[in-house]
Structure formats: structure tokens, C-alpha cells
Amino acid sequence: MQEQAVLQQQIHLLQQGELDTISQWLDATELEIESFGPLASDSAQALRQIELHTKFQQKLNDFQETIDKLESFVAVVSDR
């Protein structure tokens, strides 16, 4: 029973660490989105915005691995 409690605590700490990482990333991402500004008024600006959007989309895709880690945690069910 003690081993199970220790295991549950370790899983909880790992999950909290992942959630903290995600929260920090979301905060930074929100600031980045706010910095994008209004839509471009000419083609040169539009091309630059497309480039920025493409890089931003890649950052989202790259972070998906961190999100997926949460799915790999196994819930430990108490015998109580």
C-alpha cells in the first residue's frame, strides 16, 4: 500500500511538471500572438505575415510532443 502511495505521488509530481511546462508555454504563446499586430496592408507585409505564421505553426506542431506526454501517464487506482 505504501509503494502505491509513493507511486501515486511520483506520478502526480510528473504530471504537475508537465502541466507547469504547458502553462508557461501557453503564456508565452499568448504574448507572441498579441505581438502579431493587425493584418497587412500591402503584399510585402502580407508575405512577411505568412512567413511568421508558418514559423508559429511549426512551433505549435513541435510542442505537440509535450502535450502528448500527458497521455502516456498511467492513472494509479487506489485499492481503498
Residues 14-48 pLDDT 10s:
888 888 989 999 999 999 999 998 999 999 999 99
Cα–Cα distance for residue pair 73/67, rounded to 1 Å: 11
User: Which pTM value belongs to this model?
Assistant: 0.72
Nearest alpha carbon to residue 14 among 71, 59, 65, 60: 71
The pLDDT of residue 76 is 46
Cα–Cα distance for residue pair 44/66, rounded to 1 Å: 35
Separation in Å, CA 72 to CA 14, 18, 37, 66, 75 = 11, 11, 37, 11, 10
